[in-house]
A and B are shown apart, each in its own frame.
Chain A
Amino acid sequence: MSFSFLLGKLLRFVLTVWAATTLVFILLRMTGDPVAAMVPSDAPQVVIDQYRERFGLGEPLFIQYLSYLRGILAGDFGISFRTGGSAWDMVAPRIGPTLMLTGLSLLLALVVGIPAGMFAAVHRGKLLDRFVMGFSVFGFAMPNFFLGILLILLFTLSLRVLPAGGFDGPSSLIMPVITMGMATAGSYARMTRSAVLEVLSSPFMRTAKANGVPPLRRMTHHVARAVLVPLVTLAGFSVGSMIAGAVVIETVFAWPGVGRLLVTSVTDRDLAVVQLVVILAAATMALSNMLVDLLYGWLDPRIGTSRRSGGA
């Protein structure tokens, strides 16, 4: 992996976050007067002027943009309209729970989805394959908010074994993680299946078979290695869908994470918090894209050297 490859990926990361930040700024200013959007319409003029002062709205647009960027670089994301405290202080304690939820869901999806996809590919066309593919279509079409509600109905209201929501103890994790993990597991199974099928029909697999390599060893040593690259792509892609899932699933299960905070902040039009969450989401996705690119270079050394290394 060359140095310029690394630098290019890093540059791309910085550019993406900067572009998202700028977009938020433009959107905010497109409303004309963000203070008018934030403050109730019957607020006294003194309050409005005070807000305007605080946001530096008297300045020219470009100066506003620069001071906005400078503030973000210094970690100042503005003041929550709802609490009066800094937006960062509202978001920060919720990052942990969201990471816990998405991390465990990703783990569940990997543990269930990849073996299921491999089995389906090996037993292509058989009952097991049909079952796995049916499950994957189910996961694609099932709205996560409805699946969550069905789980609450079954496990909380009928069987009375799990809490409906909130965040007390490991038992609160079970339903949100299943809801988020199952849909992802379905898409993993589907992608793994097609990747494995492609590898299975490749010449080196025929050679391995002809050389008498036993079936299990063929799966663990030949197939598993070859499907790593498409799977890394998939894991990178699913970061986005997991962020999206967190917004809905955290709301369904009253999970104290960033996603639920975003929904309540949008309802209250607490723009400083919304803006920070958007920037965070963009940064997380850009970071995961960068990691995926770097993993590529590591898994498949051809990528980091021969292909274009300029990035961005």
Chain B
Amino acid sequence: MRRLNLGVAIPAAMLVLVVAFALLGDYLTPHHYSASNLLSRNLPPIFAGGSWDYPLGTDGLGRDLLARLVFGTRLSIGLALVGTVISAVLGTVLGLLSARSGKLVGGLILGVIDLQAAVPFIIIALAIVAIFGNSLTLFVVVLGLYGWESYARLVRGGALSAHTLPFVEAARTIGVSKMTIDRRHILPTVFNIVIVQATLNFPQTILLETGLSFLGLGIQPPLTSLGQLLGEGRDSLARAWWLAVIPGSLIFITTLAISLLGDALRDRLDPTLRRS
């Protein structure tokens, strides 16, 4: 029991620290994340002989890395959260719909699920960006489309078996509407599945966002995200390794903490794992 608590406590503490950094980090530095100061370009961080004016140093345009990290973390986590919620809702609704619909609508939804699963999502995302151009709204849509098909498939499976439960059949017999049955009876039985899938989807969405931004095809300047910072830092790797390593480490710590917490949550929620 004690070991289990430690396995939750450490990643939880890591995540709390990262979130606190994202939300309260503005108090750590007086500088604005996109304000460039040409007189203080390429300053080293404290551990490489810098000053406390810029604790983590500055980039090639004289922008404060600490302020950029705070904003980047906020945007990366926020976008991933929004993306996860959108795909969870979309996938759940379509999964419920496909389970209760006839062959035509159900088959159509299954076809779209198969189609999305047929191509790696980053390729779909890149194609969308290539065709429609790059904007923040579109980028949120892309993140929201990521992984909905996994929710839909799982929810559909859960809902199909829930539809055969006696109390659901009873509700149907006395004429409760499909909408109400889904909301009151089916949704609660598949809710755990959705939560478990969301813990898997969330870190993956962070990696998708940071990956696309790293490639220069996600978040665009003057906005910044952890991936975009890493992509910028990559260009000055030989001169100032910290510009890439610090944002990269933050991405890693965040996804690691969420994955570990997700593992712990899955063990608790997933009835098939609970036995062993």
Residues on A with C-beta less than 8 A from B118 are: 16, 19-20, 282, 285-286
Asked whether, in the complex, the Cβ of A271 is within 8 Å of the Cβ of B131, the reply is: yes
Asked whether, in the complex, the Cβ of B251 is within 8 Å of the Cβ of A143, the reply is: yes
Asked whether, in the complex, the Cβ of A24 is within 8 Å of the Cβ of B127, the reply is: yes
Residue-wise, chain A 13-39 has the 8 Å CB interface mask toward B (1 for contact) of: 000100110011001101100000100
- Chain A binding surface SS class: helix
Asked whether, in the complex, the Cβ of B127 is within 8 Å of the Cβ of A263, the reply is: no
The stretch from B37-45, B56-64, B179-187, B253-261 touching chain A is: B253-261
Asked whether, in the complex, the Cβ of B238 is within 8 Å of the Cβ of A157, the reply is: yes
Residues on A with C-beta less than 8 A from B245 are: 149-150, 153
Asked whether, in the complex, the Cβ of B132 is within 8 Å of the Cβ of A31, the reply is: yes
CB distance from B62 to the nearest CB of A (A): 23
Q: A23-B115, A142-B252 are in contact. Are A277 and B123 (CB under 8 A)?
A: yes
- Chain B binding surface SS class: helix
Q: Is B144 an interface residue (CB 8 A)?
A: no
The stretch from A47-55, A108-116, A236-244 touching chain B is: A236-244
Asked whether, in the complex, the Cβ of A285 is within 8 Å of the Cβ of B251, the reply is: no
Residues on B with C-beta less than 8 A from A231 are: none
Asked whether, in the complex, the Cβ of A143 is within 8 Å of the Cβ of B120, the reply is: no
Segment 255-271 of B: residues with Cβ below 8 Å from A: 255-256, 259-260, 263
Residues on A with C-beta less than 8 A from B259 are: 137, 140-141
Asked whether, in the complex, the Cβ of B126 is within 8 Å of the Cβ of A262, the reply is: yes
Q: Is B128 an interface residue (CB 8 A)?
A: yes
Q: Is A146 an interface residue (CB 8 A)?
A: yes
Residues on A with C-beta less than 8 A from B215 are: 247-248, 251, 263
Asked whether, in the complex, the Cβ of B230 is within 8 Å of the Cβ of A243, the reply is: no
CB distance from A39 to the nearest CB of B (A): 13
Q: Is A265 an interface residue (CB 8 A)?
A: yes
Residues on B with C-beta less than 8 A from A281 are: 119-120, 123
Q: Is A269 an interface residue (CB 8 A)?
A: yes
CA distance A278 to B255 in the complex (A): 28
Q: Is B114 an interface residue (CB 8 A)?
A: yes
Q: Is A267 an interface residue (CB 8 A)?
A: yes
Asked whether, in the complex, the Cβ of B131 is within 8 Å of the Cβ of A28, the reply is: yes
CA distance A288 to B249 in the complex (A): 34
Of A141, A251, A262, A275, chain B has the most CB atoms within 10 Å of the CB of A141
Size of interface on B: residues with Cβ below 8 Å to A: 43
Q: Which residue of chain A is the closest to B123 with respect to CB atoms?
A: A281
Q: Is A145 an interface residue (CB 8 A)?
A: yes
CB distance from A203 to the nearest CB of B (A): 17
Asked whether, in the complex, the Cβ of A240 is within 8 Å of the Cβ of B130, the reply is: no
Asked whether, in the complex, the Cβ of A262 is within 8 Å of the Cβ of B115, the reply is: no
Size of interface on A: residues with Cβ below 8 Å to B: 48
Q: Is A213 an interface residue (CB 8 A)?
A: no
CA distance A135 to B213 in the complex (A): 26
Asked whether, in the complex, the Cβ of A240 is within 8 Å of the Cβ of B120, the reply is: yes
Residues on B with C-beta less than 8 A from A87 are: none
Q: A141-B259, A149-B244, A262-B126 are in contact. Are A31 and B121 (CB under 8 A)?
A: no
Q: Is B210 an interface residue (CB 8 A)?
A: yes
Asked whether, in the complex, the Cβ of B120 is within 8 Å of the Cβ of A285, the reply is: yes
Q: Is B214 an interface residue (CB 8 A)?
A: yes
Segment 259-312 of A: residues with Cβ below 8 Å from B: 262-263, 265-267, 269-271, 274-275, 277-278, 281-282, 285-286
Asked whether, in the complex, the Cβ of A265 is within 8 Å of the Cβ of B120, the reply is: no
Residue-wise, chain A 132-155 has the 8 Å CB interface mask toward B (1 for contact) of: 000001101111111001101100
CB distance from A120 to the nearest CB of B (A): 16
Residues on A with C-beta less than 8 A from B111 are: 19
Q: Which residue of chain A is the closest to B128 with respect to CB atoms?
A: A27
Residues on B with C-beta less than 8 A from A275 are: 127
Q: Is B89 an interface residue (CB 8 A)?
A: no
Write 17 A-B pairs (CB below 8 A) sorted by A numbering: A16-B114, A19-B111, A24-B127, A140-B259, A141-B203, A143-B211, A149-B237, A157-B237, A157-B241, A240-B120, A244-B120, A248-B122, A251-B215, A263-B217, A265-B130, A274-B130, A278-B119
User: Residues of B with Cβ closer than 8 Å to A?
Assistant: 111, 114-115, 118-124, 126-133, 203, 207, 210-211, 214-217, 227, 230, 234, 237-238, 241, 244-245, 248-249, 251-252, 255-256, 259-260, 263
Known: A16-B118, A263-B126, A267-B217. 15 other contacts (CB 8 A): A20-B115, A31-B131, A140-B203, A142-B255, A143-B252, A149-B237, A149-B248, A153-B237, A243-B120, A248-B215, A266-B126, A275-B127, A277-B123, A282-B119, A285-B119
